[in-house]
Amino acid sequence: MAETAGSPAIRLDGISKSFGPVRANRDISLAVEKGSIHGIVGENGAGKSTLMSILYGFYQADAGSIHISGRPANIRTPQDAIAAGIGMVHQHFMLVDPFTVLENVILGAEGGLTLRQGMDQARTELIALERDYGLEVSPDATVSSLTVGQQQRVEILKALFRQADILILDEPTGVLTPAEADHLFRILGQLRDTGKTVILITHKLREIMAITDKVSVMRQGEIVDTLHTKDVSLEKLAELMVGRRVLMQVDKQTVDAGECVFEARDLTIAKAQYVRSLDKVSLRVHSGEIVGIAGVAGNGQSELLEVIGGMRSDYTGDIMMRGRTLRPAISAPDAIRANGMAHVPEDRHRMGLVMPFEASENCILGYHNEDRYQRGALLDRAAILSDAAGKLERFDVRPPNPHLPASSFSGGNQQKIVLAREFEHDPDFLAVGQPTRGVDIGAIEFIHQHLLDMRARGKAILLVSVELDEIRALADRIVVMFAGRIVGECLPSVSDAQIGALMAGLEAEPGV
C-alpha cells in the first residue's frame, strides 16, 4: 500500500496489553508526527516501556493496530520493526565490547558477496552517517575503548545504518555527563531537521521541556494527555503524571554542620597491577551535612559504597566513625550497623532485598537479631508484621501488605521498603546509593524530604547519584569522582560545565 500523504510517522490505535491480571496498556491511541521529537513520560509502571516494546516487536499487543507512515504494520519481532524503519537505542547498550565500531554497526547486516566487500561498503556509509549527523567516532576503535557517550553514538549509528526513519531512545541520558547529554540533544535536533522521527522515553522532565516538540503523559497504562511542549509547564507535566500537585523543589533549610561523623582515608582497591577501581579516596562527612558524590556510573562510586557498607574487605586505607577506626575484619555489615551506620545499596535486587521473602521479612533484614524481633530462641512473627505494617504505611508502600513477597511490588515500592528499613533505624551516618532510581516523581519528593529531615536532625549523609539535579538539590558539598579518584570538590551552585569537566576527567574552570 502506498504511503499516505500527511500521515503520521506512527499511529497506534486501541493498543492493549495484559500480563495476567495486570493491564499494562489500556486502549492506547497515539499519533507521532514525522520529523518531530515526541516525548513519553509517566510514573514507574505507567506502561511506557511496554508500549515501546510492542512497537519494537518485543511484545505483541492483545488488541489494537499499528500504522507506520499510513500503512498497516504487523510487528511481531524486532526484525519486523527494523524492516518497518524503526530503530531502538536501549538504556543498556547492546554492543560487543571487543569488536570495533564498524563490526558492531554491521553485525547482523553484513551485506556484500563477501564479508570484506560488505565491510568496505559499510565503512563508506558509516563515515557518511557520522559526517551528516555529527556522530563522530572512529570506525576502527574498539567499543571497550570508547566513552559511554561515544558508545551511545554507535547505537544510533547502528539504527541509522539499518535505514531507520524512526528512533526510540529509552532513558538516553542516564549514563551521560552534562556535556555528553547536550551533544546528544544536538544530534537529536539534527535527526529531526533531516526528517527523522524520534521518540524519547525519559523520567527527566527538564529534558522533555528542552528537546521535545510534543509530549504524551501516561498514567496507569493509559495516555491521559498529549500536549505541545511549548504550551505546558514542568509543574503541569508532573501533576498529570502523578494525578496531584507535586513540589518540584525541596525546601532545604540552612543547617550548621557539626562534628566529623564519618571519615574515609586513602581507600584503595587494586583490580590489576596498574588499574585501581578506588585510588586513595579520602573524604569527610559531618553531622547535619549531605555530601553528594557526582560522576558518570562506573568511576568507583559503587566500590566506595560497598567498602563503606561492609560488603568487601579487599581494600587498603581506613574507615572511621567519630574518630574510631573500623578495620576490615570488624567492618562487616552487622558491625557497620552496630557502629551507627546504615547503607542503602545501589542495586536493590542484588544487595537490598531477598525477592522471594515477604515485605515483612525484608523490612528487618540485617536487624533481625535485635531484641524487639525476638521471642526466646525464635523470631516474634507478630512483632515483625506489626513493625513492617507501620513502615509500609509511613513510607506509602503500595499495596501496604506485609505478607506479599518483594517480587510482587513495583521497582519504586521495592526501593521504599529498603529506604524504610534503613532510615527508621535512625543511623548517625547513612551511605545511600541512587535513592530514587526507578522511583516515581511523587515518591522522589517524599524520599528527598526524608533525607533533608535526617540532615536537620544532625545526621551525616553520603549521597551517590547519577542524577546531577538530585545532588544539586540535596547536597551541601559535591565531590566528583573519575577513574576511581576524587578529582574535585565544589558547591552545588557551580555550573553544569564546571561539574561536567570534572566528571569527564578534564581540568575544571578556575573557581571550582
Q: What percent of the chain has pLDDT over 90?
A: 54
Q: What pLDDT score was predicted for residue 20?
A: 86
Is the model more confident about 168 or about 5?
168
Q: How far apart are CA 392 and CA 467, in angstroms?
A: 26
Q: What pLDDT score was predicted for residue 111?
A: 60
CB 290: neighbour CB atoms within 10 A? 28
pLDDT at 291 over 60: yes
Q: Decide: helix, strand or coil at residue 117.
A: helix
Distances (CA, A) of 211 to 3, 229, 230, 374, 445: 28, 9, 10, 55, 24
Q: What pLDDT score was predicted for residue 357?
A: 96
Q: What pLDDT score was predicted for residue 5?
A: 57
pLDDT at 3 over 70: no
Q: How far apart are CA 448 and CA 435, in angstroms?
A: 9
Beta partners for 228?
A: 214
How do residues 60-88 score in pLDDT, each as one tens digit?
Answer: 999 999 999 999 999 999 999 999 999 99
Q: How far apart are CA 424 and CA 363, in angstroms?
A: 10
- 55-70 in b/e form (b: 16+ CB < 10 A) is bbbebebeebebbbbe
Which domains occur in the chain, in start order? 10-242 (3.40.50.300), 260-353+427-503 (3.40.50.300)
Question: Which element (helix H / strand E) includes 178?
Answer: helix 178-193
Q: Which residues contact 358 (CB under 8 A, 6 or more apart)?
A: 402, 403, 404, 405, 406
Is the model more confident about 42 or about 420?
420
What mean pLDDT, rounded, does the chain reach? 88
Q: What pLDDT score was predicted for residue 328?
A: 60
Q: What percent of the chain has pLDDT over 70?
A: 92
How do residues 328-349 score in pLDDT, each as one tens digit?
Answer: 655 577 778 888 999 999 988 8
> In the structure, what pLDDT confidence band is assigned to residue 510 with cuts at 50, 70 and 90?
very low
How do residues 115-134 score in pLDDT, each as one tens digit?
Answer: 666 688 888 889 998 888 88
How do residues 354-396 score in pLDDT, each as one tens digit?
Answer: 999 999 999 999 999 899 999 988 999 999 999 999 999 999 8
Mean pLDDT of 254-277: 86
Find where cell 547492546 sits.
94
Q: At what angle do helices 115-133 and 178-193 cross, to 10 degrees?
A: 100
Q: Among 139-143, 179-183, 420-424, 494-498, which stretch is predicted with the lowest mean pLDDT?
A: 179-183
Helices (H), 112-265: 115-133, 148-161, 178-193, 205-211, 234-242
Query: What is the Cα Rg of the chain in Å?
Result: 25
Question: Which element (helix H / strand E) includes 501?
Answer: helix 496-503
Helices (H), 312-467: 333-338, 359-362, 381-394, 411-423, 441-456
Among candidates 173, 430, 438, which has minimal Cα distance to 292? 430
Q: What pLDDT score was predicted for residue 419?
A: 94
Mean pLDDT of 465-478: 92
44 residue type, one letter: N
Q: How far apart are CA 53 and CA 57, in angstroms?
A: 6
